[in-house]
Structure 1
Amino acid sequence: MKILSKVFNSVLILLIVSTLLAAVGSAITKEPVLLTVIRSDSMVPVWERGDMVVIRNVNEKDPVAIGDIVFFTTDKGSLADKGWIAHRIIAGEAEKGYVTQGDANKQTDQDSAASGLIPRDKIVAKALTIGQTPLVIPKVGYFSLWMEKYQGNPYLLPVFAIILAILIGIGELKQGKKRKKKSKGLELQLIYMIGGLVIAVILGGSMLASSQHIKLVYEVSETGNGALMGSAVGILQVGDVITQPLSELRNDGFIPSIGVITTDDRQIKVSHDKLFLSKGQFIEATYTLDAKQPGKYDTSIRVGVFYPFLPSSIIYFLAEKSYWLALTVISIIPGIPLMLYPFFDTKMRRQMVRVFRKRSRKLRASLPF
């Protein structure tokens, strides 16, 4: 029974960590990463709604073939607003596009006007298979689907993180009263570590979802101005100065937040580089572009919204170095007490030292030299 319990706990921890990594990776890349949850029954009996599928990401040079189950988006038809679609390729080629169909559907996506031909660059992943069988974890994605219903609720993620911390604390108090013998392993220490990591990932995902990455393409010319395809600014003449809307910063939650706007383009000045957003506050940020140096520019502007776990000046300093540095530091702060607690608790610290010494001796004894 103890072996089964350890196996179950190990699998559960692996699944939680994998799901968190997949969620963070998807938030960063805006594509499914590692694992993805199925939202429809269009591929029955291969998988069903609520199943979680293991995927392999592909780039434009990786081959896809007829029979592959691929993950793609489309700009045409009824599937255009459905996000990432997982259907099987049944015909087509990279140059002209692919014909796709759900195994449970009677028509192809193209015959049913659900989509046009799928361009190769719209395919970002394939279902990972053993032989011809996709790797599927049944029904574990229902929690994610349930969470999606409430993802617009600004109270959900912070409250969930607080509840998780409280549950871990209660569990430790109960175990502390019952525990008479010293544990031989590091299960409790791992619970603290993973609990702190989960809180960090939840809060980081919440802040990431509220932030924006704005691309600004423009050109500065010495001879004149004009239009530039795909650019809201176009071609400016040296000496031109324009001001345009950049982003709307809104705090719909009950926790105050700090907005930070950063860019490496020295020709651009933003109306607010850092600001405090109280509950219900709304601010419309603008940018001013002072065209001084001729050339073509592909500028990145990061609009970050962070929880106020650090002073705004420090958050802005970190964000100027790297948005991801600021996000990581601020996300991990609430989880640090849980992750460090095993090192401050005398019994757990001594237990870790004993375990590491024992395993170190075994490792040295197994070496042939």
Structure 2
Amino acid sequence: MGLGSRLGQLIELLVAALVLAMIAGQLLGQPAVVGYVETGSMAPTLAPGDGFVAVPAALAGPIEEGDVVTFRAEQLHGGGLTTHRVVGETERGYVTRGDANPFTDQDGVEPPVKDDQIVAVAWRPGGEVFVLPGIGAAVTGVRAALEGGQTMLAQFLGTRAVLGTQGFAYLLFAVTGAYYVVSTWRDDGAGRDRTRERDAGVDPRTITVVGTLAVVLVVTAAMVGPSGAQRIDVVSAEFESPNPGVIERGTTGTVNYTVTNDAAVPAVVYLESNDGVAADPSTTTVSARTERTVVLAITAPGETGHYRYYLTERRYLAVLPTPLIDALYRLHPWLPVAVIDAVLGGVVYLALGAALGSERARSRSRDRSSWLRRLRSRVP
């Protein structure tokens, strides 16, 4: 294979990885490597459809005025992800505004943004946002087509198993597997010259990489999707109340918090807070498809009123020894995710590589026996 062919394959893999990363970010509820905006609120910095390099908040360091951040809004856009610039800071949180908006978000219905709500920070080399023009439009179209296909298939099959992130992985495996089987069957019986077909077809290595990325996407979704900042509402009152959400001002009360694990494997969950919320226990292991109750200790402010607190939940699939997960977590909260993705992705990559081989799907010679030929020879 020539240098040009190898370069072309590398570009294909990079484009596939980029698109999958952006789609994954939308499915997981936070940008993955690259984010993009859908409205004109950040013009002229970011036009609708423009992308940006999204640095995870845990890696970005302290938030400063002028940073463009992606946060989980409470009121804006129905409570979804919003990308706006930090224009100030108060004791209650950050003040944000779209570059094209005349008023801040806090002049409207959105409360000040807290650290636990921020999921990513736009990369600003030299002080300006690094813009990827129009890349979001392509991802939106791809995602819409995928979701439309999933919906139609779900209606046809009468099942919701093909919907969502996990359904996307099922479909990807089904399509790549079917393509490989059909191509091998056809080429084993076609008798084409091997030299003419050497460069035809899809490289199984591409299928292996894409399939591995799909599995990593599902695994990451199982850990990152349920994680993040969880809002807890508390009322500081002048009197004691049997209502667990009402705490006498200046005193410490307790609130029950339920940790649910819908995954098919146990999960190690860490609970942390920048608002002074103390969880007991702060680390817990939740069995597959079960839940566990954790007690939160919250001190009500001296002034009466409604207050909101945030508890950050970080969870990891217990496919590694718990002491190892704990050691990685102490170094950095994203390290366990990276290592678990690498381990499971590596296993899948080796398994798919062994099953598909390294030659292109159409470069099977007539004198090379395959399991499909042996199977077909036994069929009357």
TM-score by length of 2: 0.51
* Residue 73 (structure 1) aligned with residue 84 (structure 2): no
- What is the CA-CA distance between 1:35 and the residue it aligns to? 0.2
Contact 1:260–1:319 under 8 Å retained in 2: no
- What is the CA-CA distance between 1:125 and the residue it aligns to? 1.2
Cα distance change of structure 1 residues 20 and 320 upon mapping to structure 2, 3 Å threshold: farther
Match of 2:353 in 1: 339
Contact 1:37–1:50 under 8 Å retained in 2: yes
* Residue 126 (structure 1) aligned with residue 122 (structure 2): yes
Q: How does 1:164-313 map to 2 (within 5 A)?
A: 164-170=175-181, 172-173=183-184, 180-181=194-195, 183=198, 188-208=203-223, 246-250=258-262, 258-262=264-268, 274-275=287-288, 283=290, 285-286=291-292, 302=315, 304=317
Equivalents in 1 of 2:260, 2:74: separation in Å?
Answer: 29
Contact 1:195–1:339 under 8 Å retained in 2: no
Match of 1:15 in 2: 15
- What is the CA-CA distance between 1:10 and the residue it aligns to? 4.1
Equivalents in 1 of 2:324, 2:90: separation in Å?
Answer: 41
SS of aligned partner of 2:41: coil
1:238-258 deviations in Å (ceiling 9; x for gaps): xxxxxx7743455xxxxxx63
Match of 1:42 in 2: 41
* Residue 157 (structure 1) aligned with residue 168 (structure 2): yes
SS of aligned partner of 1:73: strand
Equivalents in 1 of 2:250, 2:75: separation in Å?
Answer: 25
1:267-298 deviations in Å (ceiling 9; x for gaps): 96x999645x6xxxxx5x33589xxxxxxxx9
SS of aligned partner of 1:247: strand
Equivalents in 1 of 2:90, 2:22: separation in Å?
Answer: 31
Equivalents in 2 of 1:24, 1:38: separation in Å?
Answer: 15
Equivalents in 1 of 2:251, 2:139: separation in Å?
Answer: 38
One-letter code aligned to 1:157: F
Contact 1:259–1:303 under 8 Å retained in 2: no
Cα distance change of structure 1 residues 187 and 227 upon mapping to structure 2, 3 Å threshold: farther
% identical aligned pairs:
9
Equivalents in 2 of 1:72, 1:247: separation in Å?
Answer: 25
- What is the CA-CA distance between 1:21 and the residue it aligns to? 4.8
Equivalents in 1 of 2:284, 2:129: separation in Å?
Answer: 55
One-letter code aligned to 1:207: A
SS of aligned partner of 2:266: strand
Aligned residue among 103, 107, 110 for 1:108: 103
One-letter code aligned to 1:159: Y
Contact 1:204–1:327 under 8 Å retained in 2: yes
Contact 2:212–2:349 under 8 Å retained in 1: yes
One-letter code aligned to 1:125: V
Cα distance change of structure 1 residues 328 and 233 upon mapping to structure 2, 3 Å threshold: farther
Equivalents in 1 of 2:116, 2:261: separation in Å?
Answer: 32
TM-score by length of 1: 0.52
Cα distance change of structure 1 residues 146 and 71 upon mapping to structure 2, 3 Å threshold: farther
One-letter code aligned to 1:337: A
1:337-364 deviations in Å (ceiling 9; x for gaps): 322346587999xxxxxxxxxxxxxxxx
Relative contact order higher in (CA < 8 Å, ≥ 6 apart):
2
1:293-332 deviations in Å (ceiling 9; x for gaps): xxxxx9988575xxxxxxxxxx666567437466655565
Could you tell me which runs of 5 or more consecutive residues in structure 1 were left unpaired when the two chains were aligned. 216-225, 235-243, 251-256, 278-282, 290-297, 305-314, 349-369
| CA RMSD, Structure 1 to Structure 2 (Å) | 5.7
- Aligned length, in residue pairs: 287
Could you tell me which runs of 5 or more consecutive residues in structure 2 were left unpaired when the two chains were aligned. 155-159, 231-246, 272-279, 296-310, 326-335, 363-380
1:69-124 deviations in Å (ceiling 9; x for gaps): x12336665357122x22356xx445685452253x5x334486153566788664
1:113-142 deviations in Å (ceiling 9; x for gaps): 153566788664125579777222432221
Equivalents in 2 of 1:113, 1:288: separation in Å?
Answer: 35
Cα distance change of structure 1 residues 206 and 229 upon mapping to structure 2, 3 Å threshold: farther
Match of 1:307 in 2: none
* Residue 135 (structure 1) aligned with residue 132 (structure 2): yes
